[in-house]
Amino acid sequence: MSKTLPHTAAAGIEMGIKKFILAQLLYNRVAKACANRLLEWPLFLRNRGYRYVLRRQIKRVIDRYRYVPFALRIENTNICNARCYLCPHPSMKRRKGSMSRELYKKLIDEACRWGVGYVNLHNFGEPLLDKDFAWRVAYAKRAGIARISTNTNAQQLDERLAQELIEAGLDEIIISLDALSQEMYEKIRTGLDYKKVLGNVEGLMALKRRMKRNPTTSALSTRGNPPSNSCRPTCPLSTI
Ligand code: SF4
| Residue where one domain finishes, among candidates 16, 42, 67 | 67
CA distance to 31, 164, 176, per residue, from 41 (Å): 15, 45, 40
84 lines ligand 1 (CB under 6 A): yes
Over residues 203-209, the mean pLDDT reads 90
Which has more confidence, 27 or 155? Answer: 155
pLDDT at residue 62, rounded to an integer: 83
On whether both 101 and 163 belong to a single domain, the answer is: yes
Residue 2 scores a pLDDT above 70:
no
CA of 65 to the centre of ligand 1 (A): 31
On whether both 119 and 169 belong to a single domain, the answer is: yes
**pLDDT band at residue 60, thresholds of 50, 70 and 90?**
confident
Read off the pLDDT of residues 142-151 as tens digits, 9 standing for 90 and up.
999 999 999 9
pLDDT at residue 25, rounded to an integer: 64
Which has more confidence, 240 or 125? Answer: 125
On whether both 106 and 123 belong to a single domain, the answer is: yes
Residue 171 scores a pLDDT above 70:
yes
Read off the pLDDT of residues 120-144 as tens digits, 9 standing for 90 and up.
999 999 999 999 999 999 999 999 9
| Residue where one domain finishes, among candidates 19, 34, 67 | 67
Which has more confidence, 83 or 50? Answer: 83
**pLDDT band at residue 51, thresholds of 50, 70 and 90?**
confident
Q: What percent of the chain has pLDDT over 90?
A: 48
On whether both 123 and 171 belong to a single domain, the answer is: yes
137 lines ligand 1 (CB under 6 A): no
Q: Which domain holds residue 161?
A: 69-239
| Residue where one domain finishes, among candidates 67, 90, 109 | 67
On whether both 62 and 73 belong to a single domain, the answer is: no
On whether both 87 and 187 belong to a single domain, the answer is: yes
Over residues 46-69, the mean pLDDT reads 84
**pLDDT band at residue 27, thresholds of 50, 70 and 90?**
low
152 lines ligand 1 (CB under 6 A): no
CATH number, domain with residue 203:
3.20.20.70
127 lines ligand 1 (CB under 6 A): no
Over residues 103-131, the mean pLDDT reads 95
